Amino acid sequence: MAQIRAIRKRMTAVGTIARITKTMQMIATAKFTAALARARDSRPYTNAIRGLVAEVSGAAGDYDSPLFAAKANSGKELLLVITSDRGLCGAYNGNVLKMAIKHIRTLLADGKEVEVETSGKKSVSYFKFQKMTPVQQHTIGDKPSFEDVARIVDHYIAGFAEGKWDSVRVAYMRFESNARQIPEIIQLLPLTTESTEKTSTELSGTVADYDFSPSAGEILDDLLPRSIKTTLFQAFNDSVVSENIMRMIAMKAATENANDLAKDLRRDYNRARQAQITTELTEIISGAAALE
């Protein structure tokens, strides 16, 4: 009887867990759909800005910007690590943090200093566990706004221009497809002419001849910071999409596992109940036979 009671309690608990994980899967699916739409809507603008920067840079001649090179060799890098505020999303946070800490240890081994900024509670707790307190913690949430991202980039551009850091990089999860999300570290600052030339070739194939009004330099003074902002904004959008699809997959697997366990428990319960009934019938028959 005690065994049957214990199995029944486990069946109730597993059923509750299955309902919770199913609900979380549905919520993650809805958030994923909305986040994917935002990421897809912003990607053409991001690519267009990059292509425009590449074309204008190619036609600007000897234009130079403080964003193309560090002001001084400070030997220090800033790394922004983007993770989630919540767990239960598979290997999403683990993959990003593993890549980030490997990058940090490589820089430290080379004698460089690293300042870490975070977005997401999971990265904050991880770096505190690693005895590396982040210098700043950003709160962006599930719906990144361009204004919030622009303020972060303005802070990076100002620090880079002052010579506070030699470079600024971002560790995040890049979304490629529903079945493929890749942890990646991208460089925000300094900008490289090689990357702009590559983008120009990929997007346009040829470089057009332009007449600029105002000058190409004045246009680039506005386009370059905007390009960095759109790049970081796209990284935040990709991170949210990756987080939700990995949570959706994790919750789907958890629901299936709970349902499988419930079937096993139901089978064990039926066997235990049948054994108890058989035992009781045997006792009744034996008692009746003893009275005859």
Structure tokens that stand for 40 in this block: 């897809």
Contact criterion met (CB below 8 Å) for 190 and 167 = yes
Provide the pLDDT for residue 208. Answer: 57
Q: Is residue 120 part of a domain?
A: yes
Q: Are strands 167-177 and 180-189 parallel, antiparallel or unpaired?
A: antiparallel
Q: Is residue 17 part of a domain?
A: no
Per-residue model confidence as pLDDT tens digits over 35-59: 999 999 988 888 888 888 877 776 6
Whether the CA torsion 105, 106, 107, 111 is positive or negative: it is: positive
Q: Is residue 190 part of a domain?
A: yes
Q: Is residue 76 part of a domain?
A: yes
CA dist 214 and 255 (Å) reads 60
Burial 170-183 (b: 16+ CB within 10 A, else e): bbbbbbeeeeebeb
Provide the pLDDT for residue 82. Answer: 96
CA dist 75 and 73 (Å) reads 6
Q: Is residue 263 part of a domain?
A: no
Provide the pLDDT for residue 74. Answer: 76
Hunting for tokens 């600007």 — which residue is that? 60
Residue 194: give the domain boundaries: 27-248
Contact criterion met (CB below 8 Å) for 233 and 46 = yes
Amino acid at residue number 186: I
Provide the pLDDT for residue 220. Answer: 83
CA dist 153 and 158 (Å) reads 8
Residues of the chain with pLDDT below 70 are: 1-2, 58-61, 71-72, 193-210, 212
Q: Is residue 33 part of a domain?
A: yes
Alpha helices (H) along the chain: 2-59, 92-109, 121-129, 146-161, 193-204, 216-291
Q: How many domains does the chain have?
A: 1
| Torsion angle, alpha carbons of 118, 41, 216, 149, to 10 | -20
CA dist 32 and 246 (Å) reads 9
Structure tokens that stand for 57 in this block: 């840079």
pTM of the model: 0.84
CA dist 32 and 24 (Å) reads 12
Provide the pLDDT for residue 109. Answer: 92
Per-residue model confidence as pLDDT tens digits over 79-107: 999 999 999 999 999 999 999 999 999 99
Phi then psi for residue 134, to 5 deg, are -60, 140
Q: Is residue 270 part of a domain?
A: no
Q: Is residue 78 part of a domain?
A: yes
Here the CATH number for the domain that contains residue 163 is 3.40.1380.10
Phi then psi for residue 91, to 5 deg, are -95, 15
Contact criterion met (CB below 8 Å) for 249 and 90 = yes
